[in-house]
Structures are given as structure tokens and as C-alpha cells.
Structure 1
Amino acid sequence: MNEIISLLESLIDSKVAHYPTNHYEEDQTVFPIKRGNEVLGILKLDQPFNEFSRIDQVAIENASLAIAIDLMKDHALLENELQFREEVFNQMIEGISEKDIHRIIHYFNWDEDWHVQCMIIEGNDEPLWRNDQIKDKERLVRSIEHMITDICGHSLILTQAFQLIVIFPSLHVDTTHNIIKNIKSICRTANQLLFGVGRQTTIHHIATSYQEAIRSIGYAKSSQDVNIVEYAKLGAERLLHNIDDSTADLFIRDKLGKLLIKDRVLLDTLKAFANHHKQHNETAAYLHIHVNTLYYRLKRIEALLDINLKNEQDWFDIVIALRLFVASNKN
């Protein structure tokens, strides 16, 4: 690409700068590099495009096309690299020989004694990248890759469908939180990101951290209030996850059934009450209702379910049922 820019500058006898961005203000000194309707970058000119001679304009247009082709080649190389990483990762998950593990450790410049973690990132309401914008995915992967390298050195980043999977060494206590904070600053939809984080494991047991990250991202997707779930910090959810679906469904139906059938507003009220640790004022504020309205709803819940929310056993059963309900993705 530098050769193309240098050649263009010599042909038009003017300075030209390339910027790899798809956001720019309309300006006669800016010439977009396009593939169809997608902007792959811009050329910043020293003077307005229409002030160049027709020959110089053709040179700028051809240079833009050549750079677009160059960028497409880079994108194809990245896709091949991501496919290779996915194949390697799948081998690590499925189990491979000690010899192959050592090859992978050497390839990614990892230390065999490192503890690593798996993190899965996904968009909530919209995907991390737009499928019709080929450079969108590349920019995101490259940016996150460079950022994580600065924080903790060599990592493994790959994509599956619209998920981003990151394997990184846990070298410091705050590594995970630093990575999450920086990913939020990189992504255009920071408020809509979901994170599932597995526990630290040895490289040989990365499959365990990956499965934990899958469970964590699933819990984040099913919860309305949590977008970062670290498996190590989950409580009873870790145990409840292993209950078979039929047993969980029966328990949910027995403890919450009438709310599921008759009044979802009361169900949401009960969930909020549990999430705010039975604090009436905080729950009412969260639901944007008067505290007296909350008291009225709680009395209706007690009557419908034939329970006493002040009774320790009743409350314990309700909390377990709510957590099973959230974990089952039925909300």
C-alpha cells in the first residue's frame, strides 16, 4: 500500500495520506476507498479533488481501486488465519496429544506454566460486526488483538458465528477487568455487549474454561440485568446448571407456575424483589412504582403462590426457582 501511495504522490505531485477508517465528513479533500457501497478507508488529499487535472483525478481513482484490492487481500488472509485458529482451538477442546499441545504452545508463544482464561463476547441486541461490511470484523479483531497484546502479551482470538472468543494468559489479578474495559472502549455498541468468562485453568485444561465461558454467556443472555458474567463469581447457578431440564421445569412450575400463567407483571416484580435483596425502596425505584404499589403486588404474589415471603424456606424455594427460570432462558 505504501508503494501505491508513493507512486500516486509522484504522479500528481502532491501529498496523500491514507486513513483506515469508514467514518469521515464530506470534504472535497477526502477521497473514499470503496468496495461497492462499503468504505474501506480514505485518501486525504492536499487540495480539493475537483481542483486536480483530469489526468490526476484518474490517477487518484485508480490508486483508490488498487488500495481496495490490496485491502481485500489482507481481509482474505485474516479470514484464513481465523479459520486456522478455529481449527487449532477445536483440537485443543476435543483433546490432542502432548506433542501437539507443545506445538501449539510454541506457535502462540505461550509459556507452558501459564494459567489462561477463556472469554466469549457477543452482542445483545445486534451483532458485534455487520455481515455486509467485510472490514467491520477485521477492524474489531485487529483492534482487540493489539489491545490484549499490550495488556498481557500473546493471546488467541478467533470467531465463531457472531461470537468473539479470546484465550488470554491471566498474568495479573486485574487482567480480565482491564480487557473488558478496553473492549468496551473499542466497540461501537459498548452498552450492548455481553461477556462470559471462564475460570483460570492450565493450558492443558482450556476446554474447562471454555465450557464455563459458554455457560456464563448463556446466563448473561438470559438475564435482563447482568451483561458481564464470570463463572468463578456465580453462586448457586453453577450447581443449578447441572440439574436436568425436566426436573428444573417441574420445580419452576410448582413454585412459580401461577405467575407464569396469570401475571407476568407479578413475576417481574418478584424477580426485581429478589435481585434487590428484598429491599422495598430499591425494588420500587427500579420498577418505577410507588412503594405501596410494591407492597400490594407482593401480597398478591403471596396469595397466588400460597407462600409467606418472610418465611425462610418459602423464600429459599422462590429464589432457587427464579434462578432456574433465568438459567433456562425462558424469560
Structure 2
Amino acid sequence: MERKEGLLQQIGFDNQKAQYHVINLIESFRAMNSTLELDEVLKKIMHFALNIVETAEAGYIQMYDEPSDKLIIKAYVGFNKNISLFKVNIGESITGKVFRDGCVRLITTRKEIYESMGDLSKENFDCIDKAHYKNEHIKSILSVPVSFGTKRIGVMTLHCFDVEDGLSETDILLLQSFASQAAIALHNANLHTEVQKTLDEVTHLSQRLKETNAMLEKRTDIHNLLTGLSVQKKGLSVIILEMNKLMDIDFVYADYLEGTIVPKRDKNLAKSLDDLFFLFTNKTKAAYVSICDKAQNDYYIYPIRSGSIFLGCLIAEGSSPLSQIDSLIIEQGAPILSLEIMKLRSQTEIMYKKTYETYQQFLKIKNPQQAEIAAKELGIHHHYFLQTALIELDGNVDLHSLENDALLLLTHLKEKITVENSLLFSYNNKITFFSSTRNVVHEDYFTEVIESSIKWWNEQFTVIARGGISTGYYHFGQAEENHLKAEKALLHLKKQKKKGIVHYRNIGISSLFLHHPPEEIDSFLRETFSRLWTGQEKNDELLHTLFTYIQNNRSMNSTAKELHIHANTLYHRIKKIEDILGMDFNNYEDYLKIQLAVYLYNTFLVH
């Protein structure tokens, strides 16, 4: 009877306990599903997991991370923050195998627990060992897979430290039931997170789209406004002033050719234009620069170009980044400014082309009366002294860039040459100066101005400037002869690949050979020097001796002194050279031939 009553009491106790577990499970299900925030769901799962399995003292849930292919701690109870560093590979240690196999693992002895962790990396072992101060007293571990349908998404693990046989088979059933519901809650929370993320992205994109549309509308308005001013032929200054009104900052346009600033504001900036132009001639992107004079001034520089041609710069004072609207205005305004500048440039080029054609026609006229009429059309009145200068720009750039450089040098010359009755223009990569004066007084003045301008240019730029000058007494109908002499002087420098300036009267007998093909001159030199021109060390010494001897006008003493040898040694060398070449330098024709060969070598082959 007593046994029966005890059995009934035990059954009643078990029923109460089962009822408690059911209520606890239901309450946990309700709580887990009361929120869709993933972090909150994870925290609730771990909180209720320890409520359901009362003997467990600590636990954590790991979720599978696809990018790293590892199980990552997402929530924990009863551990310190070291547990968050615990990341295991699939199949590694206890939880890695539970995830891989999809099977529950209940381990109830410390020895078996540590044996099951035998393949755990040292890094992971240190993390788990430091995560709970009672790890050395661990008694049992229960680890169950968390799956949604057939897809495993994680592992839930509980630890028991103090109670022997603290985790039991009953706990497995409870935790498996709980894990099934937890998986549903996690799936829902993940869906919510993904939906929320997508919604945030859509909202962000929508906002960006609104902002982009607003900027596009603003861009169109700015473009239409500035284009309208261009179509209405309001001019460069009006467009620049209108851009200034639209922008938050003030800026100016610095013209490369004219060296002017619109609108005129900063006097200190005007002093630094040459340096700024030098920095940005070959640049295509904007940049910030600092100019240090008495004080430091910072500027934002935006180069204006038309293809390879540098036109000038938009310049704003300060080093702060431009606002979006200011960047937009410059972006839209720069091409329109470029177009306006090129319109002005085209008009100038058309004018210079007409001047060039008229000048060429004038040169061809031989009739004095007709030549006088043509000269007056060019603004040239009859005087008795004539000066012609031709300046050519040469470099590793395209023709358009050379034309632009020629216009820049022309502007510089116009500032220097103020005498009336002269003609100054550029065409392609050449500048022509033509002047008729009463006497030779102005010759030195013009020559000095042109020479100093070419020197200034060659010191500032990589493109080479060279010039040829011719002067002489003039009668109408004879201008072409003087022009051709200037061309020959220029060709003389070009053939020598030299820069600078030379007068026709100073090129000497080179004028006779300017139009000879280089191959023809080279053939004459090879024939003359014969076996001396072999490149061998011994004959190179003889060749050098010969050149020094001829350049010293056959003076034995001067030659020996320059070569640092005895006069007798020089005498024997000269005799040897004569024998090799089959010449006698006392013979007029032989000496003239070798003298001419040395001159041509130094003039046309040595650069």
C-alpha cells in the first residue's frame, strides 16, 4: 500500500515536472517569436535554453558563416567575452562534428570531453579555456544541431560544471524541441533582417536617386544658361561673371596667350601667372597649389584646354574642397569657356592667315608700283632699309600645340616691338617680322628684341625657338630676296639642330650647301676622309689631329700646343695623314678640299 502511494506521488511529481517543462517551452516559443530583431532573438534563445535545461550553467549558440566556412559565436550566457573569439571549422572538435553530422552529442565525463576536443586548434582551445573560470571542473556538455528544414544553420551547446550527471537524456529531448523552434525564430529573424536591409538599400537608393535627379536638373539648368549666353554672343567676360554669380566662391580666368585675368582682382596672382602657366601647360586635371611670396597664398587651379592646346586656367583662392554645386558649375562651364576662347582664337587665326597670304603675294610682286600698293595694304610705307626675321618653333608636340606656342611668343614680341611701319604675325608654327625703316639704326634694336625674346622662350619652355634674320637696302619689288635670306639663316640653324638666332650675313659659305641633301654631304665627307674615317682608335687620333691643324689655319705651333705634343711629332702625323689620304696640303686644291670637308663636318654633322 505504501509502495503504491509512493509510486503515485512519484508519478504526480513527474507529471508536474513535465507540465512545468511544457509551460516553459511554450513560454520560450512565445518570447522568441515576439521580436524579429536577430540579436534580440539570439539573446532570448540562450536565456530560455538555460531555463529549460536547469542543470546547465553556461551555453552559447554558433551560426554557420558562409564566407569564412566556420561556426561563429552569435550569443552566449555564463561565459566572458573570450568566447566570442571561438571559431571552429566544420568537423572540428565537438560542435564542428555536431554541425557536420547533424547528430546530438551528450558527453558526461571530463576525460571524454577533452578527448573529443583533441583536434581543436590551440587558438580555439585558449579561447574556450579562458572563457569560463570553472572550465577545469567541467562535468558534462550537451550540443545539438540547429536546423531549419533540411538546412543546418548552427549549433547550440550547454555546459555543466558543478553537478555530476547534470545533463541527461531528458535534456536532449527538451533541447532538441527547443532548438527546432529556435531555428524557426532565427529563420524569421534572418528574413526580417534581409528584408530590412533590402528596404534600407532601396530607401538609400531612392534618396540617392532624388539627389542625382536634382543634380541632373541643376546641371541642365546651368548648361542651358551658359550655352544660351554663348549662343547670344555675350562674350567670354559675361560668361565668367555669370559663373561667378552662381558659385559659392569667387574665381577668375587667366588667359595663357594674353597673360590677362578676368575679372581683375588679385594683383599678387598676376605676378605669379607665368609660374602657374608653366606648372599647368601639360596638365589636364585640377590641383591645389601654394604660392609663397611675402605670404603664402593657396589656390585651386582648373586648366582649360581644347584637346592638346592649353588655353588658360580657372583660379579660385583657398585650399578648401569645392562644394558639389561649384564643381558642377566648373564642369559645365569649362567646355563653354573653351569654345568661346577658340572662337576668338579662330578669328585671330583667320586674320593672320589673310595677312600671311597677302604678305606672300606681296613678296612675289616684282613691279615697283604694284609692290608699293601691296605694301600699303600691309601697313608698310616705302623706306630704304629692310629687315626680315623668321622665327620657328620646333618640338615633340603636335602642330596645334606648336601653333598655340607661336601665338604665345607672338604676344610676348608684340609687347616689346612697338615701332610703326612693321608687320608681325604668326602662321602655323612660324612668326614673321617684316619692317621697312629710313636707316639702319633700328636694325640693332629689332635684333636685340628678337634675340632676347627667343632666349627668354628657350629658358622657359621645352619647345625650341630659333630665328633667322636678314637686313639690307630695299627697293619695291625686291622684298622676296631679303625674305629668302632670312629663310636660309633659319634653315642653317635647323640643319645644325641649334636654337637661338643667326643673321644671314654670319652663316658664310653655309648658304651654298643649305639645300644639299644630307646624304650628298655625307658622301663627300666619306670620300674625302677615306681611310681615316674608320672609327679605329689610331685613326681617330689622326682625324682629330687633322681637324685641329685645319682649324688653326695650318699653324704648326698652335696645333702642337693645343694637342699637347711636340712639333716634330705633329710634323710626322701630318705627313702620315697626307700619305693615307693621298693629298698634299701645300697643293691649293687639296688643301681647299680638306678645309671644306672639315667645315662641312663641323657645320652639318656635329651637333
State the partner residue of 1:199. 471
Letter in 2 for 1:122: E
1:221 and 2:494 are equivalent in the alignment: yes
Structure 1 position 128, deviation (Å): 8.7
1:143 and 2:412 are equivalent in the alignment: yes
State the number of aligned residues.
318
State the partner residue of 1:166. 433
State the partner residue of 2:452. 181
State the partner residue of 2:189. none
TM-score by length of 2: 0.43
1:149-197 deviations in Å (ceiling 9; x for gaps): 236763233336x444332346524122331222221244589544322
Q: Distance in 1 between matches of 2:347 and 2:380?
A: 23
Q: Distance in 2 between matches of 1:316 and 1:218?
A: 25
1:234-263 deviations in Å (ceiling 9; x for gaps): 44445x559999xx97x9579825168645
1:319 and 2:590 are equivalent in the alignment: no
Q: Distance in 2 between matches of 1:214 and 1:59?
A: 48
Letter in 1 for 2:239: I
Q: Distance in 1 between matches of 2:490 and 2:558?
A: 27
Contact 1:85 1:158 in 2 (8 A): no
Q: Distance in 1 between matches of 2:248 and 2:321?
A: 15
State the partner residue of 2:505. 232
Q: Secondary structure at the match of 1:150?
A: coil
Task: Say which is worse superposed, 65-74 or 181-190, in terms of deviation.
Answer: 181-190
Q: Distance in 2 between matches of 1:29 and 1:284?
A: 64
State the partner residue of 2:399. 131
Structure 1 position 278, deviation (Å): 5.6
Structure 1 position 90, deviation (Å): 1.9
Q: Distance in 2 between matches of 1:79 and 1:48?
A: 38
1:60 and 2:330 are equivalent in the alignment: yes
Letter in 1 for 2:313: I
User: Among residues 294, 300, 315, which one is paired with 1:29 in the alignment?
Assistant: 300
**Are residues 127 and 326 of structure 1, via their aligned partners in 2, closer, same or farther at CA, if it must alter by over 3 Å?**
same
**Are residues 95 and 282 of structure 1, via their aligned partners in 2, closer, same or farther at CA, if it must alter by over 3 Å?**
farther
Q: Secondary structure at the match of 1:111?
A: coil
Larger Rg belongs to: 2
Q: Secondary structure at the match of 1:86?
A: helix
State the partner residue of 2:577. 301
Q: Distance in 1 between matches of 2:558 and 2:452?
A: 27
Q: Secondary structure at the match of 1:112?
A: coil
State the partner residue of 1:2. 237
Structure 1 position 72, deviation (Å): 1.0
User: Among residues 291, 309, 321, which one is paired with 1:50 in the alignment?
Assistant: 321
TM-score by length of 1: 0.73
Gaps of 5+ in 1: none
Contact 1:75 1:138 in 2 (8 A): no
1:86-105 residue pairs with structure 2 within 5 A?
86-95=356-365, 97-98=367-368, 100-105=370-375
User: Among residues 239, 258, 263, which one is paired with 2:530 in the alignment?
Assistant: 258
Letter in 1 for 2:321: N
Letter in 2 for 1:3: V
1:289-308 deviations in Å (ceiling 9; x for gaps): 96449958756533322345
Contact 2:355 2:378 in 1 (8 A): no
Structure 1 position 73, deviation (Å): 1.1
Contact 1:5 1:17 in 2 (8 A): yes
1:112-127 residue pairs with structure 2 within 5 A?
112-122=382-392, 126-127=394-395
Name the % identity: 18
**Are residues 9 and 221 of structure 1, via their aligned partners in 2, closer, same or farther at CA, if it must alter by over 3 Å?**
closer
Letter in 1 for 2:358: V
Letter in 1 for 2:337: I
Q: Distance in 2 between matches of 1:234 and 1:154?
A: 25
Task: Say which is worse superposed, 215-224 or 251-260, in terms of deviation.
Answer: 251-260
Q: Distance in 1 between matches of 2:514 and 2:405?
A: 38
Q: Secondary structure at the match of 1:44?
A: strand
Q: Distance in 1 between matches of 2:583 and 2:322?
A: 80
Contact 1:157 1:167 in 2 (8 A): no
**Are residues 224 and 17 of structure 1, via their aligned partners in 2, closer, same or farther at CA, if it must alter by over 3 Å?**
closer
